[in-house]
């Protein structure tokens, strides 16, 4: 795989290259004089039709493990680091070809859940869209309440991955993507990894009546995750940036970014509520809420291209479509 391609999708950037050099040079200096490295150690797991690709310090390794058993453990980063010496190395070009042709969403048997109204921007948007239904107050209250809003989002078979289609509903006039940092929580309730999530939503159905939330949120390919599982040695940095752009006929029609530090709740708090009275034998994914909402006159159209990037994890790209009739 291209050493500078930290997204795993063939796209290398100058910044990736500088990061790579810094990692190598500074890492060497550290080996000699025991200075703490400023870069979080991390690994990436790409789920492929041919197996699992592990990317560590820009070297690719092939794993033949069963996905659910592999990821569902405490100390996932340490376990993966320990087994690396026994793994076959995959040449850069072969790894790139596998990722290009055989990339799957990084999910096995896990349910996907989502948190709502965890950012002020989301509270404001829901209050606006539900003003006519009289439900605006609900969103104000849930933002302030001790208990977070958590809702079921998807079974694994409805989930789209990087470069795959996401769907908008034919019976919805107002459709948006929701870019969300997504947690992978193991069966013990411990956050082990992160990925990029898109909580595709119908704002017209959600705004019409708050009780329509499941229809606004759950439909074929309304959840996308990818391109990989990002497994850091430490919890993800609180100032991590999240960016979204939307392209239509080769023109950019939306672009914005923010930081997950704006979130009102902590990730462990959300995971704690989800696991209070539910067991997840293979772990679960939890989308943590959106902080980027396009202006109110924006709705997605067929063939729009949605790109979501999160620092460290990479970029997930999806094409907007309708479920075939
Ligand atoms: O309350 C409705 C859904 C909220 C949501 O999906 C979000 O804040 O991201
Ligand atoms: Mg959402």
Question: Which residue, judged by its Cα, is nearest atom 5 of ligand 1?
Answer: 116
Residue 292 CB less than 6 A away from ligand 1: no
How much distance in Å is there from the Cα of 292 to the middle of ligand 2?
10
How much distance in Å is there from the Cα of 117 to the middle of ligand 1?
5
CA nearest to 162, candidates 46, 249, 265, 241 = 46
Q: CA 225 to CA 50: how far, in whole Å? A: 19
Atom of ligand 1 nearest to the CA of 287: 9
Measured CA to CA in angstroms, residue 233 lies from 56, 81, 167 at distances of: 12, 10, 35
Q: CA 256 to CA 269: how far, in whole Å? A: 27
How much distance in Å is there from the Cα of 105 to the middle of ligand 1?
22
Instruction: Determine the residue of 112, 113, 115, 116 to mutate for testing ligand 1's pocket, defined as the one with the most ligand atoms within 8 A of the Cβ atom.
Output: 116
Residue 150 CB less than 6 A away from ligand 1: no
Residue 172 CB less than 6 A away from ligand 1: no
For residue 106, give every residue at least 6 positions away whose Cβ sits within 8 Å of its Cβ, in sequence order, or none.
Answer: 45, 46, 47, 161, 195, 225, 226, 227, 228, 229
Give the pLDDT score at 39: 65
How much distance in Å is there from the Cα of 178 to the middle of ligand 2?
5
Instruction: Determine the residue of 115, 121, 122 to mutate for testing ligand 1's pocket, defined as the one with the most ligand atoms within 8 A of the Cβ atom.
Output: 122
Length of the chain in terms of residues written: 325
- Enumerate domains of the chain plus CATH numbers: 14-102 (no CATH), 111-321 (3.90.850.10)
Atom of ligand 1 nearest to the CA of 114: 6
Ligand nearest to the CA of 223: 2
Ligand nearest to the CA of 148: 1
CB-based contact 106:283 (threshold 8 Å): no
Question: Which residue, judged by its Cα, is nearest atom 4 of ligand 1?
Answer: 116
Q: What is the pLDDT along the chain (325 residues), one digit of tens a residue?
A: 333 333 334 333 444 444 444 443 443 333 333 344 456 899 999 999 999 999 999 999 999 999 999 999 999 999 999 999 999 999 999 999 999 999 999 999 999 999 999 999 999 999 999 999 999 999 999 999 999 999 999 999 999 999 999 999 999 999 999 999 999 999 999 999 999 999 999 999 999 999 999 999 999 999 999 999 999 999 999 999 999 999 999 999 999 999 999 999 999 999 999 999 999 999 999 999 999 999 999 999 999 999 999 999 999 999 999 999 9
CB-based contact 275:111 (threshold 8 Å): no
Residue 9 CB less than 6 A away from ligand 1: no
CA nearest to 181, candidates 290, 58, 271 = 290
How much distance in Å is there from the Cα of 34 to the middle of ligand 2?
42
């Amino acid at each position: 795989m291209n050493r500078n391609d930290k997204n795993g999708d063939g796209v290398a950037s100058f910044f990736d290259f500088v990061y790579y050099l810094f990692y190598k040079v500074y890492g060497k200096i550290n080996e000699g004089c025991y200075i703490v490295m400023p870069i979080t150690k991390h690994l990436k797991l790409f789920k492929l039709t041919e197996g699992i690709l592990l990317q560590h310090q820009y070297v690719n390794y092939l794993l033949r493990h069963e996905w659910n058993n592999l990821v569902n453990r405490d100390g996932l980063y340490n376990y993966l680091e320990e087994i690396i010496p026994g793994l076959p190395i995959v040449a850069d070009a072969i790894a790139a070809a596998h990722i290009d042709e055989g990339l799957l969403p990084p999910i096995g048997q896990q349910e996907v859940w989502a948190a709502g109204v965890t950012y002020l921007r989301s509270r404001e948007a829901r209050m606006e869209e539900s003003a006519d239904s009289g439900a605006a107050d609900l969103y104000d209250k849930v933002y302030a309440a001790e208990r977070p809003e958590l809702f079921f989002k998807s079974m694994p078979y409805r989930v789209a991955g990087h470069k795959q289609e996401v769907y908008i509903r034919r019976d919805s006039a107002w459709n948006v993507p929701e870019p969300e940092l997504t947690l992978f929580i193991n069966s013990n309730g411990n956050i082990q990894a992160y990925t990029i999530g898109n909580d595709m939503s119908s704002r017209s159905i959600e705004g019409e009546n708050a009780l329509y939330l499941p229809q606004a949120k759950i439909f074929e390919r309304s959840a996308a995750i990818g391109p990989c599982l990002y497994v850091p040695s430490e919890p993800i940095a609180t100032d991590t940036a999240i960016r979204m752009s939307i392209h239509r006929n080769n023109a950019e029609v939306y672009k914005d970014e923010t930081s997950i530090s704006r979130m009102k709740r902590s990730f462990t708090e959300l995971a704690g509520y989800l696991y209070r009275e539910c067991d997840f034998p293979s772990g679960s994914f939890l989308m943590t809420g959106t902080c980027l909402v396009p202006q109110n006159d924006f709705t997605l159209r067929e063939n729009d291209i949605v790109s979501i990037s999160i620092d460290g994890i990479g970029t997930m790209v999806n094409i907007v479509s309708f479920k075939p009739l």
